[in-house]
Structure 1
Amino acid sequence: MRAVPNSARCRQCGYRLRGLSANVCPECGTAFDPSDPDSYDDPERRLEWLRRERRQALRMFIAPPGIVTYVVLAWLWAWQFRPTFSLAAWHQLVNHHATPIVCSMAILLMLWIPAGWLIHRRLDPALYPRWRNQGWWRWGLFSLLVASVLALAQPWGVWARFHLSRTALEAQIAGAQQGQAAARFRRIGWLDVEYVHLNWPRGGVFVQTEHDSDDGRYGFAYRAGDSGQGSTPGPGRWRIEQGPARWHP
């Protein structure tokens, strides 16, 4: 009978398996096969693999598709949280259906990485030992990456700055509706506001933060909430809005 290495441990409880007469862990009862390196944990072999195969690991995980994915993902997130992030550019992506295409390509690139890992591991399983909870960590990481890509379908940076400015915006709207001068090219909270349009043709109030060369309007539309008991208005509703081109109040 083939013996397990002296450093072998049970994959379930970590019990040291050296010198056992049966291929069963006496601590938790988990069976193992000395001829199958995947049925037990061997820290020494894992360290040896890391020493001998570090270049292969770099080629596998930090390959050109992976580099492109990570760089583009980091750039897009950094771009979103810049103060000069353009809602107009985001609307152009959405209107031309580019967002689903970009997300699909990024997801395919990221799935290439675990696929390469699994292929290499099948070719030589002795060099790619498993350890406890490895699958949870690996797939958790890739799920996080995929979620990060899908989250780029919304302009979270602008939305975060809007929420930090929401109270100030609603106060400005309330004042304008009572006859005060509407804001024009002012910074309100964390947002640079160009106009506050009280007679928005789609109903409600439109806070314009950007315009483009075709005179398109971009910003946030506000509609007051319905009146509740005692004629007290409910909370207002906001949404990201693209206004009609060449419209003037």
Structure 2
Amino acid sequence: MATILVTGSSDGIGRHTAEVLAADGHQVTLHARSERRAEDARRAVPQARGVIVGDLASLAQTRELAAQAVGAGPFDVVIHNAGVGGGQAAPAVTEDGLERIFQVNTLAPYLLTALMPSPGRLIYLTSGLEADGRARLDDPQWRGRPWDGMQAYSDSKLYDVMLAFAVARLRPGTLSNAVDPGWIRTRLGGPDATDDLPEGADTQVWLATSDEPAAVVTGHYFKRRASLRANPQAYDESLQEQLLALCADLTGVKLPA
């Protein structure tokens, strides 16, 4: 059985992923952004071995979360599930002075990856909207261009794929992949979404636990257990390096190879 951390597992896809993994006998550690949501997570997944708490919209709390994860580990698998949606009429700025979508969806998983020991398997949740993403690494905070919330979200999901591919390249001992869970009926996905929670969690569970040849690969973009072609920008190693350098500059932490 594997030891597995699932970020953003107090509700939605993350919670269902954790429920399935725990029911299968794996040792699952949950994550919530607050103590109140941590209680929700504990009640929802009572088989979990623990919950770590930290708001990914705060660099200080993300660093503390990484420290908690180190104490709760080591982990065989880390599933970077946590994220926020787009569509806001105006950008939200965090306590660190950073645009919130970029910080939560991209910078936080980068920082956790950089500060935690590398597990055997890393899974970064993205979205089909990564196909519409544009790698505007010269202005990731939207300070020099008109705000577009959905574009900011799409960009952040492209960056997640770039991060997964960069880690796969730099850490050959780790299976690092990105997953599009589909448009799932959750609080984030909304009531008009086309798919249910089991479909949204299935590929992550499979990648986290299966020894099938199709699951023990690295540097792939998956949907419904199928390896697909991602946004062409995601494969550009120079753009990957620019993203890593940007994240290192913003956090003060370089990703160890």
TM-score (norm 2): 0.23
TM-score (norm 1): 0.23
Higher share of residues assigned helix = 1
Rg comparison, structure with higher value: 1
Which structure would you say has the larger RCO, counting Cα contacts within 8 Å and 6 or more residues apart? Answer: 2
